[in-house]
Amino acid sequence: MSSTRPHHVAVVGSGPSGFYAAAALLDADLDVRVDVLDRLATPWGLVRGGVAPDHPKIKSVSAQYAKTAARDGFRFFGHVEVGACDGEAHEPGCGRVDRAELLERYDAVIYAVGSQTERRLDIPGEDLPGSIASVDFVGWYNGHPDHAGLEPALDSERAVVVGAGNVALDVARMLVLPVDDLRATDTADHALEALARSSVRKALVCGRRGAAQAAFTTTELRELDKITGLAVRADPEQVPEGMADDESLAKGTRRNLEALRRWATTEPDPQADREIAFRFLRSPVEIRGEDRVEEIVLAVNRLETGDDGRVRAVDTGERETVPTGLVVRAVGYRGLPLSGLPFDEATGTVPHAEGCVEGCAREYVAGWIKRGPSGIIGTNKKDAHETVRHVLADLAEQEPSDRPSLEDTEKWLRERCPELVDQAGWESIDAHECGRGDTDGRPRVKVIEREEFVRLASA
C-alpha cells in the first residue's frame, strides 16, 4: 500500500469517449495515472468496430488515440471484462473483475462502455433468419469478435434497411458497394469473401417519418454521388419541389432535401448496376417467411405534429409488401445495464449529473452510456471533458489514497485475467495487422480469434 501514490483512475471502455477522458485526465495539473480497461484485446471501440471500412479518414482519428496511449501515465489492459458476473465468485484466471473491486483499487472509475446492443422493433418475424440488427452486421464486416460468425443472408437481389440514420446509410453502402471497392479497406476477410459472393445489388432504405425528419448527415448522404455505378433513387412525391426551400428547417435538413430531390428528379446513369433507394413514411409491421425472411410488410404513415412540437409518424392503415431475403434493422443502439449501477430502461443510459453517476460516489460515465447513441465521434470529446472536470474536482478533494499501488493493481489484473493484453501486447497485434495490410495494400488485416490476439500479444 502506498499513501503517496498518484491519483489512479480506471476508464472502462477504450472507444472515443474513453480515450478523450484518458487524454483529459493526463492533461490535468494533478498527478493522475490512467488505466484503460477493455473486454476486447483491441482498443478504439467503434472506431475499429463500428465506423464503416470505406471511411478510412474517419478511422484515422485512431492516430490521436495512439498518441494518448504513448503518454506517461497511460496503461491499456485488454481482455479485462468488468462487472459481468453479479454474485459469482471471481476466481483468479476468470478474466473478470467487478465494480466493487475496481472501487477498492482506483480513486475513480469512469464507465465509457458505449451502447452495446440494438433497439428492437418488436414486430412479428423480427428474429427470422435473414433479419439482423445493424449492431451485428456492422460488427461482422468490421471483424468484431462477437459478430464474426454472423453469416448474413446475401442471396437475394434486394435488401431492406430499416431506419433513416447514418448507420442505415453505412449498411446500405456496404451491401451494394462492389467488393473490389472494399479490397483496399480493412473490411474483415470473412466479410470480403461473403460480399464477393453476394447477390445483393439493391438496398431499400426505409424511414418511418418523412424526408425532412431523416437523421442522415449531409456529408454522408452526398457521398453516395461519388460511388461509380450506383443509382440513387427517391420518390418525387416524398420530396416535392420547394421542400428544401423551407427556411424554418435546419440547414442540414435542407441540404439533405436538396440531395434527395435531385435524386428524385434525375434519371440515374443507365449503366448503373447497383441501387440505393429511399422510401419515407414507412414503418415495418411484420417480417414474413416460412423459415427465413421472404418479405417485409410496411405500414404507410402520415405525419402529425404533437403538442410537444415533435413530428410523429401515424399509421394510415395502408400496407405495402416488399419481397426480400435480408432485413437489416438500423434503428439505433442501446446501452446495457452495468451490474450495480443505476440504469434508465427508457433511454438505455446510466442516470447521472454531468457525468457523475447518481448515488454512486467516485463513479462516472462518459459517451453513449451517458447521453445515449447520438452525435459523431468528436461529440464525445466535449462529453468526456465535462465528466473529467468533475472527476478532477473530486480527486482534488480526496484524502491521500491508501489504495493499492499501480504495480499491485496491475499484478491483480494479470492474476484475474491471464489472457490480459497490455499496451505492448496491443502494439504487437497492431504491427502484425498493419504489416499484413502493407503486403495487401490495405490499412490493416484484422485478427479476429481470441487465441491469435493472445499469441501475438505475448510474442
Q: Which residues bind ligand NAP (CB under 6 A)?
A: 58, 119, 121, 162-168, 170, 207-209, 213, 215, 217, 220, 283, 330-333, 373-376
Nearest to 426 by CA among 407, 444, 409, 411: 444
Q: Which is nearer to ligand NAP, 96 or 279 (CB)?
A: 279
The answer to whether the beta carbons of residues 368 and 152 sit under 8 Å apart is no
Q: Which is nearer to ligand NAP, 376 or 459 (CB)?
A: 376
Q: Which residue is nearest to ligand NAP (CB)?
A: 165
* Nearest distance from C-beta of residue 214 to ligand NAP, angstroms: 6
Q: Distance (Å, rounded) from C-alpha 6 to C-alpha 400? A: 9
* Nearest distance from C-beta of residue 395 to ligand NAP, angstroms: 31
Q: Which is nearer to ligand NAP, 117 or 339 (CB)?
A: 117
Output the nine-digit C-alpha cell for 170.
453505412
Q: Which is nearer to ligand NAP, 152 or 332 (CB)?
A: 332
Which string of DSSP letters, residue by residue, matches 205-223?
EE-SS-GGG----HHHHHG
Q: Distance (Å, rounded) from C-alpha 185 to C-alpha 53? A: 6
Output the nine-digit C-alpha cell for 216.
442522415
Phi and psi dihedrals of 380, rounded to 5? -70, -15
Q: Which is nearer to ligand NAP, 2 or 213 (CB)?
A: 213
Q: Which is nearer to ligand NAP, 314 or 424 (CB)?
A: 314
* Nearest distance from C-beta of residue 70 to ligand NAP, angstroms: 26
* Nearest distance from C-beta of residue 312 to ligand NAP, angstroms: 8
Q: Which is nearer to ligand NAP, 303 or 434 (CB)?
A: 303
> DSSP label at 344?
B
* Nearest distance from C-beta of residue 52 to ligand NAP, angstroms: 7
Which string of DSSP letters, residue by residue, matches 59-122?
HTTHHHHHHHHTSTTEEEEES-EES--TTS---TTSSEE-HHHHHHH-SEEEE-----EEPP--
Q: 386: part of which helix (H) or strand (E)?
A: helix 379-397
* Nearest distance from C-beta of residue 372 to ligand NAP, angstroms: 9
* Nearest distance from C-beta of residue 454 to ligand NAP, angstroms: 31
Residues 6+ apart with CB under 8 A from 334: 115, 117, 118, 119, 348, 373
Q: Which is nearer to ligand NAP, 219 or 398 (CB)?
A: 219
Q: Which is nearer to ligand NAP, 329 or 446 (CB)?
A: 329
The answer to whether the beta carbons of residues 154 and 195 sit under 8 Å apart is yes
* Nearest distance from C-beta of residue 144 to ligand NAP, angstroms: 15
Output the nine-digit C-alpha cell for 18.
474513453
R_g of the chain computed on alpha carbons = 23
* Nearest distance from C-beta of residue 438 to ligand NAP, angstroms: 26
* Nearest distance from C-beta of residue 29 to ligand NAP, angstroms: 33
**Within 10 A of 67 (CB to CB), how many other CB atoms are there?**
12
**Residues in the chain, overall count:** 459
Q: Which is nearer to ligand NAP, 163 or 355 (CB)?
A: 163
Q: Distance (Å, rounded) from C-alpha 234 to C-alpha 229? A: 17
Nearest to 206 by CA among 155, 231, 255, 171: 171
Q: Distance (Å, rounded) from C-alpha 223 to C-alpha 263? A: 13
